[in-house]
Homo-oligomer: A and B are copies of this chain.
Amino acid sequence: MSTEKQPAGRPRDTEAAGAIKAATLKLVRERGYGKVSIAAIAAEANVARQTLYNRWNTKANLVLDAVFEETAQYADTPQHDPNQSSKSQLERFLAQVFTHLTENGDPIRALIAAAQDDHAFRQVFSERFVKPREKMVTDLLRNAQNNGEIAPTRNVEMLSSFVHGAFWYALLNGDPVDNDLARNIAGEIFTHVPDRSV
């Protein structure tokens, strides 16, 4: 039991936040980010608009919470498995990320868009979405470089940028972000120049 001393004043409705997030997720998946109004979300959650704004200050922040609360930790750094090539580890990791990305493609694209004219949101989005994924790939690639699966001359940060860039580019241009893309990216990152001496 959490016997926190209750502060003065009317306590927050403990169910409101959950109801709002659920309503958000439902409506955004049904209609898409752009066609869902804050008023519609509040109505669906049986709550006044101001109650929603007491908890989230923008639509983007609300949707970010709604879409990512269960997936924050789901994309864990894959532990390095010495029985598996880094290439197939990267491919599997990307395939997993792309699944979530495709299921939530519309809101994620909308959030990237929202981040473009809202500096504060861009920070939040970067911390919660961009940087964690970037780090996982960079770690994996660095590991591969230490194992000799990537030539020591290569620039791992740039390669990581290639990986992320490739799927952002596909995502934002409406191209499919699927297993094929995962295979192609991993294949190209781990391509070796054929050994000319043989």
Contacts and interface: CB of A to CB of B under 8 A. Distances in A.
Interface of A: 32-34, 109-110, 112-117, 122, 126, 130, 151, 153-155, 158-159, 161-162, 164-170, 172-174, 184-185, 187-188, 191-198
B122 A174 contact: yes
A155 B188 contact: yes
15 contacts: A109-B116, A109-B117, A112-B116, A126-B173, A153-B193, A154-B188, A158-B166, A158-B185, A161-B165, A161-B170, A164-B165, A164-B169, A165-B165, A195-B197, A196-B197
Nearest to A167: B165
A34 B32 CA distance: 22
Nearest to A156: B188
Contacts of A33: 117
Contacts of A193: 151, 153, 192-193
